[in-house]
């Protein structure tokens, strides 16, 4: 017979886990309320800030919070960014595989270019990871070097979509004058066989990205294209009417484009 002096093992485990989770939530509270400048609380805060900006809860923001510079630098250079991008690509492919591709050349997948197909991380790494105001002059200089590498997860997805028979349309906020540099680096980075590369024409300058990209999607639909998927690192790549059947948001904690 069991002695009443000892708790049954299940109850003991329950008690221990209650004590452990109470201790964990207390230490969590302590981390949040303690010195806001400490590295730990910055990490915790910045992870929540990142969730907020990725989900568009933050809406427009100009530069990253100053206390998040180290967090964003570590995120962008570490495994987290690569893995987050891999998971987005895997979800995109899982959806793409459910689409009946008709073979009439009208089944379309749209990709944005910057921070979607190509990575400007080498530029942002020497310009404060989004903690500094955007400088169009130095960014355009970088862009014209055409040295942006591919995002590995996007390059794989791109190949898989081509294999499934999708027409790939690239829709970027870059301007016509940058067509050559953009084509050159897309090719050097490994991209090929896109159906169209759409850049801002003179008449598109000054439009918000949402307005410009929605108009281009409307034109594509008017031409008979069915836009199944749309991949972009900005909400402004994806929002607005008409929308793709499914939109896929890639991570980007460095900047926000309206
Ligand atoms: C952009 O960078 C250039 C070169 O460093 C500098 O001369 C210019 O003042 C900067 N512009 C802005 C708006 O910060
Ligand atoms: C782009 O390259 C083509 C040749 O491939 C050239 O004719 C054209 O002038 C170039 N455009 C710009 C804006 O440099
Ligand atoms: C990563 C990559 O392929 N970058 C290339 C971009 O294009 C330039 C030429 O314009 C190449 O020098 C880079 O290697």
| pLDDT 10s digits, 234-246 | 999 999 999 999 9
Q: What's residue 210's pLDDT? A: 98
Band (pLDDT 50/70/90 cuts) for residue 142 is confident
The full length of the chain comes to 258
Please give the Cα distance from 182 to 200 (Å, whole number). 13
Residue 3 lies in a domain: no
Q: Whose CA is closest to 238, among 93, 109, 106? A: 109
> pLDDT tens for residues 197-234?
999 999 999 999 999 999 999 999 999 999 999 999 99
Residue 7 lies in a domain: no
- Say yes or no: CB of residue 70 within 6 Å of ligand 2: no
Residue 65 lies in a domain: no
- Say yes or no: CB of residue 180 within 6 Å of ligand 2: yes
Q: What is the DSSP letter of 247?
A: E
- The mean pLDDT of 120-125, rounded to a whole number, is 93
Taking CA atoms only, the protein residue closest to ligand 2 atom 2 is 180
Count of domains for the chain: 1
- Say yes or no: CB of residue 149 within 6 Å of ligand 3: yes
The percentage of the chain sitting over the pLDDT mark of 90, rounded to a whole number, equals 79
Domain of residue 223 covers 76-249
Please give the Cα distance from 65 to 63 (Å, whole number). 6
Q: Computed over its alpha carbons, how large is the radius of gyration of the chain?
A: 23
Taking CA atoms only, the protein residue closest to ligand 3 atom 10 is 146
Spacing, Cα 143 to ligand 3 middle (Å): 11
Spacing, Cα 127 to ligand 1 middle (Å): 11
- The mean pLDDT of 41-56, rounded to a whole number, is 96
Q: What average pLDDT does the chain have? A: 89
Residue 192 lies in a domain: yes
Q: Give backbone dihedrals phi and psi of 21, rounded to 5 degrees, phi first.
A: -75, -30
156: number of Cβ within 10 Å:
17
Q: Whose CA is closest to 194, among 175, 172, 223? A: 172
Q: What's residue 24's pLDDT? A: 52
Q: What's residue 22's pLDDT? A: 54
Residue 166 lies in a domain: yes
- Say yes or no: CB of residue 252 within 6 Å of ligand 3: no
CATH number at residue 94: 3.40.50.1000
- E-strand ranges in 42-113 read 107-111
- Say yes or no: CB of residue 118 within 6 Å of ligand 3: no
Residue 223 lies in a domain: yes
> pLDDT tens for residues 182-196?
999 999 999 999 999
Taking CA atoms only, the protein residue closest to ligand 2 atom 7 is 180
Spacing, Cα 170 to ligand 2 middle (Å): 19
DSSP per position, 21-47: HHHHHHHHHHHHHS-TTSHHHHHHHHH
DSSP per position, 159-181: HHHHHHTPEEEEEEEEEGGGHHH
- Say yes or no: CB of residue 132 within 6 Å of ligand 1: no
- Say yes or no: CB of residue 183 within 6 Å of ligand 3: no
Residue 139 lies in a domain: yes
- Say yes or no: CB of residue 184 within 6 Å of ligand 2: no
Q: What's residue 35's pLDDT? A: 44
Q: Which residues have CB under 8 Å from 125's CB, separation 6+?
A: 73, 76, 77
Please give the Cα distance from 21 to 238 (Å, whole number). 40
Q: Whose CA is closest to 160, among 97, 88, 117? A: 97
Per the DSSP assignment, residues forming a β-bridge with 163 are none
- Say yes or no: CB of residue 138 within 6 Å of ligand 1: yes
Please give the Cα distance from 37 to 156 (Å, whole number). 40
pTM score above 0.75: yes
Q: What's residue 72's pLDDT? A: 96
Per the DSSP assignment, residues forming a β-bridge with 118 are 114, 150
Residue 55 lies in a domain: no
* Ligand 3 atom nearest residue 190's Cα: 3
**Distance in Å from the first CA to the final CA of the chain:** 71
**Is residue 18 scored above 60 in pLDDT?**
no
């Amino acid at each position: 017979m069991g002695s009443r002096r000892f708790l049954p093992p299940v109850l003991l485990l329950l008690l221990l886990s209650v004590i452990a989770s109470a201790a964990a939530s207390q230490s969590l509270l302590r981390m949040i309320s303690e010195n806001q400048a400490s590295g730990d609380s910055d990490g915790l805060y910045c992870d929540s800030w990142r969730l907020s900006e990725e989900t568009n809860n933050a809406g427009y923001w100009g530069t990253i919070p100053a206390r998040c510079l180290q967090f964003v630098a570590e995120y962008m250079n570490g495994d987290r960014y690569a893995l987050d991008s891999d998971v987005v690509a895997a979800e995109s492919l899982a959806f793409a595989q459910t689409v009946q591709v008709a073979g009439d050349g009208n089944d379309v997948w749209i990709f944005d270019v910057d921070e979607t197909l190509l990575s400007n991380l080498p530029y942002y790494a020497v310009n404060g990871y989004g903690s500094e105001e955007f400088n169009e002059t130095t960014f355009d200089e970088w862009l014209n070097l055409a040295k942006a590498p591919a995002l590995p997860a996007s390059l794989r997805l791109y190949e898989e979509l081509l294999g499934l028979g999708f027409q790939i349309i690239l829709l970027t906020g870059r301007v016509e004058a940058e067509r050559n540099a953009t084509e050159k680096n897309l090719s050097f980075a490994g991209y090929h066989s896109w159906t169209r590369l759409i850049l801002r024409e003179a008449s598109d300058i000054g439009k918000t990205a949402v307005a410009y990209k929605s108009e281009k999607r409307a034109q594509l639909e008017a031409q008979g294209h069915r836009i199944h998927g749309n991949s972009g690192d900005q909400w402004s790549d994806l929002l607005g009417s008409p929308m793709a059947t499914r939109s896929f948001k890639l991570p980007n904690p460095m900047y926000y484009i309206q």
